[in-house]
Structure 1
Amino acid sequence: MSDNAATGRVTVVGSLNMDLVARAPRLPKPGETLAGHAFAQVPGGKGGNQAVAAARLGAQVAMIGCVGNDSNGATLKRSLETEGIDCTALATSADAPTGVALIVVDDASQNAIVIVAGSNADVTPPRMEEHEALLARADVIVCQLETPPETVRAALAAGRRLQRTTVLNPAPAARKLPPDWFPLIDYLIPNELEAATLSGVTISTPDDARRAAQALKAKGARNVIVTLGAQGVLALLDGAGDDGVHLAPPNVEAVDTTAAGDTFIGGFAAELARGAAAMDAIAFGQRAAAIAVTREGAQPSIPRRSELTE
């Protein structure tokens, strides 16, 4: 942890997957077989990626999740422990295999992903009760939607009850969130596709993202931050007016965008846990994500804090 100089605590409730990544000239069409030119097997899952990002970027991190009793599970746990992440709340499923993600990345750095949840489905609400002490010690609690929805709600509700800062990355967003979730969320951080699904607003520009953020904030989320890839971030923060702020991204040449969003969220949560203002945490997350997209892979692409502070 010496490289990170960690001063804040982040607890991540979420998914752990083994990523099976194929690179191809373009994404395949339905029914089409393409010849790829590279393959890699690397630790991933939105929960795992965000935990690693938060740890590398300055936080003391605990992970609440579940892996299978298999080689993938052992590899994922070992990779988290190598990052200094507290894995005391990482369970092993008695019968489900470790989750996997099948990822195709094209030569334009766009990707398509299929997830098989496996042991991530065993992250249940009773585990939130079992590990409430980890939630209580956190400055920031981070959740996604790759574990059962009732578990995500239980984690957010615990965070609200314990007066912890809650962050929800609503990914993947296949449908709208239940109305009673929004008041439990301090920072709702969707990408443009997720924001469109949740708000009903089609998004192609920062102005569209502003309208979507306004609709989501009206539902009860305290702050809404829409990530827009190469168009940057639209942030609608509590007490900062109704128009929000558009922040352009650093100018880099992208190689692989697979973990960009997870890196942003991990960096944002880490900086927020260290006591930074929200706008400063957003800028920090953007700088971290800009480094990540210049490298291949999910967790291997995530930078360390020293790379942003040199």
Structure 2
Amino acid sequence: MEYEGILLGMGNPLLDISAVIDQDFLNNLQFPNSGEARKFSFFPRWGCGVHYYEDESPTGTCAVCVLDDERSLVANLSAANCYKVDHLKRPENWALVEKAKYYYIAGFFLTVSPESIQLVAEHAAAKNKVFSMNLSAPFICEFFKDQQEKVLPYMDFVFGNETEARTFSRVHGWETDNVEEIALKISQWPKASGTRKRITVITQGADPVVVAEDGKVKQFPVILLPKEKLVDTNGAGDAFVGGFLAQLVQEKPIADCVKAGCYASNVIIQRPGCTYPEKPDF
């Protein structure tokens, strides 16, 4: 199988700036370290072809404050906020959409160009390709609910973490905090195309990964890590998705996809920033 160009990703390219801080720093800023700040962060995937088009605005930035094993993120999207559907429609860009067989779009992109997301989603459904998105952050589920609901019928895979899943449940009035129930409900949301059933994948930190598929829920254990080896959790969720998709495009079983996702996230949380060793041992 030809893999070049098989997976197309869309999101907000940002320069992540990380700093290890102490409690005094937070106290001086009166800034909480609870992780409740808006979490704009899209994991940069090295080794991939990228297209940048905005020269008049500076590159977006994301400040990451890490205290112990917790983090808070604040972003200025800047140039990333300038993306328009016209960029996507350029022949050289749309050719990439047509070539790809799998699509992954960060939920954060709903704040920038939902029209672009919809265009790719409709193309995927029409051509029987695999379309996936991430819930990305609680505020996306809360404040971009309508945009998210519009594209949800096209999603073949929905990724998220337990906090995002519970927020999704609350804003839709489901009255349950049970992650397994929520994952199942999301998987059963009506689809625009009946060619494949939706699979929901919810990570829970050190707790098992929840996968809802075909009316059933399975749990997959993660790779447990001693607390003293935990360095930085920033990008862990995105790394999980990257590992998962790396196996999915090879048509591997879901269990293998989850295993690869857990491996990728386990590696990056032992390193500062979203960084990897030179060679994987997966």
Fold-level similarity (TM above 0.5): yes
Deviations 1:146-174, CA, capped at 9 Å, x for gaps: 33233323332232223221110121342
The count of residues paired between Structure 1 and Structure 2 equals 251
Deviations 1:121-146, CA, capped at 9 Å, x for gaps: 22222233322221222232110133
Q: Which residue of 2 aligns with 1:197?
A: 167
Per the normalisation by structure 2, the TM-score is 0.79
Change (3 A) 1:269 1:170: same
Distance 1:11 1:211 in 2: 30
Q: Which residue of 1 aligns with 2:219?
A: 246
**Higher RCO, Cα 8 Å, sep 6+:** 1
Q: Give the superposition deviation at 1:100.
A: 0.5
Alignment equivalent of 1:9, drawn from 6, 14, 25: 6
Q: Which residue of 1 aligns with 2:54?
A: 93
Q: After the TM superposition, which of the residue ranges 131-140 and 269-278 deviates more from structure 2?
A: 131-140
State the secondary structure of the residue aligned to 2:53. Answer: strand
Change (3 A) 1:191 1:172: same
Q: Give the superposition deviation at 1:202.
A: 7.8
Letter in 1 for 2:118: R
Distance 1:232 1:303 in 2: 25
Q: Confirm or deny: 8 A CA contact 1:232 1:248 kept in the other structure.
A: yes
Distance 1:129 1:265 in 2: 26
Aligned pairs (5 A) from 1:65-80: none
State the secondary structure of the residue aligned to 1:119. Answer: helix
Q: For the aligned residues, what is the CA RMSD?
A: 2.7
Distance 1:263 1:16 in 2: 15
Q: Which residue of 2 aligns with 1:266?
A: 242
Q: Which residue of 1 aligns with 2:102?
A: 140
Per the normalisation by structure 1, the TM-score is 0.73
Q: Give the superposition deviation at 1:8.
A: 7.7
Aligned pairs (5 A) from 1:212-223: 212-220=182-190, 222-223=198-199
Alignment equivalent of 1:153, drawn from 106, 109, 118: 118
Q: Give the superposition deviation at 1:6.
A: 6.2
Letter in 2 for 1:223: I
Q: Which residue of 1 aligns with 2:30?
A: 32
Distance 1:117 1:133 in 2: 26
Q: Confirm or deny: 8 A CA contact 1:213 1:226 kept in the other structure.
A: yes
Q: Give the superposition deviation at 1:203.
A: 8.0
Deviations 1:162-196, CA, capped at 9 Å, x for gaps: 32211101213422354332221010001112112
Q: Which residue of 2 aligns with 1:128?
A: 88
Letter in 1 for 2:156: D
Distance 1:161 1:191 in 2: 29
Deviations 1:36-62, CA, capped at 9 Å, x for gaps: xxxxxxxx941x52x33xxxxxxxxxx
Q: Does 1:230 align with 2:228?
A: no
Letter in 1 for 2:95: A
Alignment equivalent of 1:119, drawn from 55, 79, 83: 79
Change (3 A) 1:94 1:203: farther
Change (3 A) 1:6 1:110: farther
Q: Does 1:162 align with 2:123?
A: no
State the secondary structure of the residue aligned to 1:91. Answer: coil
Q: Confirm or deny: 8 A CA contact 1:101 1:116 kept in the other structure.
A: yes
State the secondary structure of the residue aligned to 1:295. Answer: coil
Distance 1:284 1:251 in 2: 14
Letter in 1 for 2:221: A
